[in-house]
A and B are shown apart, each in its own frame.
Chain A
Amino acid sequence: MGSSLKSFIKDIRNAKTLADQRTIITKQSAKIRTKLRDDHLPFSKRRVNIQKLLYLYILGEPTHFAQVECINLIASDQFVDKRLGYLATMLLLDEKQDLLTLLTNLLNNDLHHPNKYIVSLALSTLGSLSSYELARDLYPDVIHLIETSSDPFILTKSFQCLAKLIIKDSELTILEIFPIELIKEKFLDSPNVSLLTHGVWLGICKVLQSIVILLLDTSIQETPEFILAIRENLLIILPNLLDQLSSLNVKNYESNYDVQGIRDPFLQCEIIITLKWIFKLAKKVELFSPIKTKYDEKFIDIFTQLTNNSSLSLNKNPTNAILYEVTRTIFELEMNQSLRLLGINILANFLKPTNSASGSTEKGKKSKTNSNNNNNIKYVALNTLIRVVQQEPNAIAKHKKFISHCLYDPDISIKFRSLELTFAILNKDNLIELVNELIKFLHDVSLNNVNSGYVYIDMDESKELINYTIDNLVKRFDLYDSNQEKVKLQNLFEILKLTGNMISVDKLNEFLITINNVEDWKIKINCLVENIVSHMQKGKIPTSNICWNLIMIWSIGEYGDSITNQSNGKISETQLVNYLIQLNTLYSNTSKSSIKNNPSATNNTYNDHITMIQYILTSSLKLSSKINDGGNIESLRQIILNHQKDPNLMLQLKSNQYEMIFNQPANLKKLMLECMPNFVRQIETNGDETFTHTISTKAEAPSIDKNSNLLDLLSDISDKPSNSTASSVKKEVSALTLPNDAVSIFNNDLLEIYSHVVDVQPGNAHYELFFKPLSTPFNELHSLCAVPKQQKLTLGQIQPTHNNIDVNQITKQSLKIAGTGKLKLRVKLNIVTGNNETQQVQFDHKFNETI
C-alpha cells in the first residue's frame, strides 16, 4: 500500500508550478471521492485512499466529504483499518458534528475490546471528540477501565479521557458516581507501585483539575452530599500530591524522566497546578479550613524547598518552567508575604542579564545559544510581574535596575513589557531616577530610528514605543514635588529635544500646561532662556522637530519680556522677533507648497503647519505688547497681516481678529495680552479630554466655543480677579471629591464604591471607580477587576494613593474597557485595614451602558 501513497505524494511534490500542483490535486481529489463511493472497494484500497485524503487534509484541501467513510473504517475488524479510521475521524470531525452519534456504538464496543491497542485508540478518540452526549453515554465504560485495568498504558489514557469527559459534564452526573476514593485506594496508597507511573500520575492530576474546575464553575445553591464527599476526598488526596512533589525533588532517583537534569518537570508542573486548583477551591468554599491550615504549612515548606533547590541550575528551560509555575501559584493564591517576596525575587532573577558581569551583553556572543532561552524567561517574568505589580508594587520597584535593563533588549515585546512595568512601579521616590532612565531609553530609540542599528525594530515600532512612553510620561508630570520643578522642566525639554519630531502636535497640550503651571517664575524663565540660547546658537532651525518649535513659539509669546530681561543680554528682542519671522516663513511656505502638490498625502503635515502658524500668530500678538522697539512691533504686525488673505479660513479669521486687537490702545492691549494662567483652559478645550475632565471635577470650566478664540481672550480678562491659578486647581484634584453623577454600586460596613461614567462610545468605555472607607481607615487597598472575555480592560492605578486612606477619604481608579457587548465587571478588593487585618471584598456589577 505504501508505494501508491508514496507515488501520490511524489507526484504532488514534483509538480513544477503551483498551477500544475493544483491540477494534480483536483484530479486526485475527484478520484478519491469516486473510489470511496464504491461500496465494493476492498478495505486495503479504501485505506490507501483515506491516507491520500489525509495528506490532502494537511495541505488544506477540502476533505469533509469523506467523514462517513472514516467512521466506516472504524467498523472494520482489522486493527490497521481501525487505526486509520480513528485517526481520520479525529482529524476530519470536530465536537460539534451530528455525525458523532454514529460513533457512540463503535466506541462503546472498542472500549471493551480485548486488544488493548484498540481500547487505546478508542480512548484517544473519545477524549478528542467528547461531545456532551458522548460524554454522558460513555463515561461508565471509562470508569470501568480505571477500576479494572492494571495496565498503565490503558490507565494513563483512561484518566486523560475521563478528565475531558468531566469538563464536558456540566450536570455533574459523572461526578455523582465517580468513585474518587478509588484514586487514593487503588493508585496513590497501593503497594503496587508499578501501577503508578508518571503517565498515570499526569492523568490523575488532570482528573483532579477537571473536578476542581467544574466545582468552581458550577454555582449550586444547596451543596449535595456527593459534592461534600468529593471535597473531603480531594483533601485526603492532598498529602499524596505534596509527598510526590517533594520526592521528585529528592536526588538519587532513577533518572528515566530527567529533562536536562531536572526530574520530570512535566509532572512537577502538573502537580503544582493541581495543588493550586485544590487550594483555590479550598479558599472559595472555606469548608475545610482547619485541615487546610495543616497542609498550608507543608505546602509553603515545599514551595520554599522548590525555589531553593532549583535555583542551582538556573537558565535551563525545565527549571524555569517549574519556578515560573511556583511563582504564578504564589500570586494566584495570594500566599503569604514572605513567599510573595520570594516569588518576586525569582522573577527578578529571570530578568538578570545572562552573565551577571556588567557589559557582557556586547561581548556575549558566546552566550548566543542562551540568549533566546534567556529572552523566553524574561518575557514570561515580565508578563507575570505586570500581572502582580498591583499586589506588590514596592517589592517590584526594588528591582528597577533589571527592569530598566530590559528596555534595551532587542526584542520589541520585551521592550514594551518592561516599559509597561516601569510605569507601573514609578512613584514619587524613584521618579527622578526612572525618568532619567526613560529619557536614556528615548535617546536610544530615537537614535536607533536614525541609524537603524537594529534590524528587528522598524520605524513604526520605535514610533509606537516613543508615543507609548510619552503618553505615560506626561501623565506622571503631576508626581513631581513643588521643589522639583527645575528637574521637571529639564526633563521635559530633554524629552522634547529627543522625540519632538516623532510625536504628534496634539500631545503637546500637557507639556504647555506643565510649563504654564510651574510656580517658581525664576526657574521657569531661566530654563527657557537656557534652551532658547542653546537653540539659537545652533543657528539653524530644524523644521523636523516641530514640537520643540511649538513650545519655543508659545514661550516667546508668553514670557518674551522676562526672557530678554533675565538673559543677561544673551537674547535680544530682535532675535526673538526674527525667530518668529523665520518660522512664519518656513511654515507658510511649506504649507502652501504641500497643499499644491498633494494635499491628501501630506494632510497631516499640512495640518500641523497650520497649527504652527496659529501659534505664531498668537505669539506675535502677545509679544507685541511686551516689547517697546517700534521696528520690532511693526515686524510682528507684518507677520499677522501676512495671513489676512490666507487660503486657510481659520488663519485668515485669526489674522483679521488679531489685527483688530493690535490696533487697540496700548494700555488696553497690554491688559488683554498679559500672560494668563487661564491659558490652560483654552488649551484644554482643543485637546486632551481626560485632562479636561480632571479639572472639571473641581471647577465648572466656562464653556468655550472652540472657534471664537477672540471672544475667549476677552472673556478671560473679565474673569481675571477670580481666576484660580492652574496649579491650585491641580492640588485640589489630589483631594478628590465625588462627581455629582457618581452612583453607588456596592457597599458594606467596610466601604462604599461608586462608579462614574467618563465616556462611553461604541467599542470603548471609560469609567472611574471611587472607593470610600466607611468604618476604618485602610492601610492598603488593592483592586483587581475583570470583564467578560470579549472585552479588554485597562486598569489605572488607584489615585491619589492606595496606602493609608482615611475614613471618608475618596480614592479613584480609572477603567477603560474596549470591545463589544454589555458592560459587566467583577471587582475584587484586597484591603488591609487600620488594625492590619486583611479583608477581601468581591462583587459583580452590571453597568447600564453597552458598547
Chain B
Amino acid sequence: MSIRFILCFNKQGVVRLVRWYTANESGRETQEFIAQIYRLISSRDHKHQSNFVEFSDVTKLIYKRYAGLYFVMGVDMRDEEPIYLSHIHLFVEVLDNFFGNVCELDIVFNFYKVYMVLDEMFLAGEIQEVSKDVLVEKLHILDKLE
C-alpha cells in the first residue's frame, strides 16, 4: 500500500540516499539488492522506455533521472505508478528549492538534511505534505533549530 523504499544513486551506482520503509525488504544482501536495482535501471533507455519497471514478485520500481542522479521508489506491485512519479518530482523540486539549485555535492555533504526533507515529506512511506511552500517554510525553520 505504501512506498517500500526510496533510493538515490548516481550514474556510477554510488548510493547517495537510502531509506527502507519495509523491514527486511532485501533480506541480508542489501548491497546486492541495490546493485541489482542499479543494473536494471541504468541499462534502460531513458528516452524510449517507461519510468516503471517490475523488479520482483512484490516490488515495482518507479524512477526518474535528474542530471546525473537517479531517484528510485520501490512500491507495492498493486500500487498505482503515475502518482509516485509526481512524488519523486515534488521531492526533487523541494530539494532544489531548499538547497537553492541543488547538485549532487549538496546531497553528499548534507545527507542528513536531505533525510530531514524526506521525513518532512514522507512519513513511514506515505506522503504527508504536498505543498511545496508549506514544506520549504517548515524546512527552513527546522534547519535553524539548534
Contacts and interface: CB of A to CB of B under 8 A. Distances in A.
Nearest to B35: A60
Nearest to B48: A410
A555 interface: no
Interface residues of A, number: 74
Contact of A156 (B14, B21, B49, B129): B129
A414 interface: yes
B83 interface: yes
Contacts of B19: 91
Please give me the 3 A-B residue pairs with the lowest Cβ-Cβ distance, nearest first: A321-B82, A127-B124, A94-B23
A87 B1 contact: no
A378 B52 CA distance: 11
B124 A376 contact: no
A163 interface: yes
A264 B17 contact: no
Contact of A371 (B18, B48, B124, B128): B48
B50 interface: yes
Contacts of B126: 160, 163-164, 202, 206
B49 A60 contact: no
Interface in B47-88: 47-54, 57-58, 80-83, 85-87
A116 to B, nearest CB: 10
28 contacts: A9-B109, A13-B108, A55-B111, A59-B15, A80-B145, A84-B112, A91-B19, A94-B20, A124-B119, A127-B123, A127-B124, A202-B126, A213-B1, A266-B86, A318-B83, A368-B47, A371-B47, A372-B48, A372-B50, A375-B50, A376-B82, A376-B85, A380-B81, A410-B45, A410-B48, A413-B49, A413-B53, A789-B57
A101 B48 CA distance: 49
Given A55-B111, A127-B123, A199-B129, A266 B20 contact: no
Interface in A507-554: none
Nearest to B81: A380
Contacts of B131: 197-199, 256-257
Interface string A201-228: 0110010010001000000000000000
A9 B108 contact: yes
A198 B130 contact: yes
A827 B20 CA distance: 35
Given A128-B123, A266-B86, A379 B129 contact: no
A325 B83 contact: yes
A266 B81 CA distance: 12
A83 B146 CA distance: 10
A259 B134 CA distance: 14
B52 A379 contact: yes
A380 B23 contact: no
Interface string A61-94: 0000000000000000001100110010011001
A157 to B, nearest CB: 6
Given A198-B131, A265-B86, A123 B112 contact: no
A321 B130 CA distance: 15
Interface string A301-341: 00000000000000001101100110010000000000000
A376 B18 contact: no
Interface in B11-55: 14-21, 23-24, 30-31, 34, 45-54
Contacts of B45: 410-411, 455-456
Contact of A58 (B15, B23, B80): B15
A269 interface: yes
A634 B125 CA distance: 80
Given A60-B30, A321-B83, A199 B48 contact: no
B51 A372 contact: yes
A51 interface: yes
DSSP class of A's interface residues: helix, strand, loop or mixed?
Answer: helix
A199 B130 contact: yes
A124 B20 CA distance: 14
Interface string A187-203: 00000000001110011
A673 interface: no
A847 interface: no
Contact of A376 (B17, B47, B81, B119): B81
A256 B133 contact: yes
A497 interface: no
Given A198-B131, A206-B126, 11 more contacts: A80-B145, A87-B115, A202-B129, A265-B83, A269-B83, A317-B86, A318-B83, A321-B83, A324-B81, A325-B83, A380-B80
Interface in A247-291: 256-257, 259, 264-267, 269
A377 B123 contact: no
A375 B127 CA distance: 25
Given A87-B112, A117-B145, A198-B131, A123 B123 contact: yes
B49 A411 contact: yes
Contacts of B23: 94-96
Given A58-B15, A160-B123, A96 B82 contact: no
A738 B65 CA distance: 56
A199 B134 contact: yes
A9 B112 CA distance: 13
A259 B90 contact: yes
A197 B137 CA distance: 15
A153 interface: yes
A375 B49 contact: yes
A375 B34 CA distance: 25
B81 A379 contact: yes
A729 interface: no
A710 to B, nearest CB: 49
A37 interface: no
A213 B85 CA distance: 25
A87 B138 CA distance: 17
Contacts of A55: 111
B92 interface: no
Contacts of A328: 80
Residue with the highest number of chain B CB atoms closer than 10 Å, among A153, A213, A792: A153
B31 A324 contact: no
Interface in A368-386: 368, 371-372, 375-380
Contacts of B116: 83, 87
A237 interface: no
Interface string A456-485: 100000000000000000000000000000
Contacts of A412: 49
Contacts of A366: none
A264 B49 CA distance: 27
A128 B124 contact: yes
A130 interface: yes
A16 interface: no
A6 interface: yes
Nearest to A210: B1
Interface string B130-142: 1101100010001
A54 interface: yes
Contact of A325 (B24, B80, B90, B146): B80
Contacts of B112: 51, 54, 84, 87
Contacts of B145: 79-80, 83, 117
A331 B127 CA distance: 25
Contacts of A13: 108
Contact of A161 (B119, B124, B129): B124
A546 B14 CA distance: 48
Contact of A321 (B57, B80, B109, B123): B80
A256 B137 CA distance: 13
Contacts of A259: 86, 90
Nearest to B25: A94
B51 A257 contact: no
A674 to B, nearest CB: 53
B93 to A, nearest CB: 10
Contacts of A265: 83, 86
Contacts of B21: 128
A160 B122 CA distance: 9
B85 A317 contact: yes
Given A161-B123, A376-B50, A266 B146 contact: no
A192 to B, nearest CB: 18
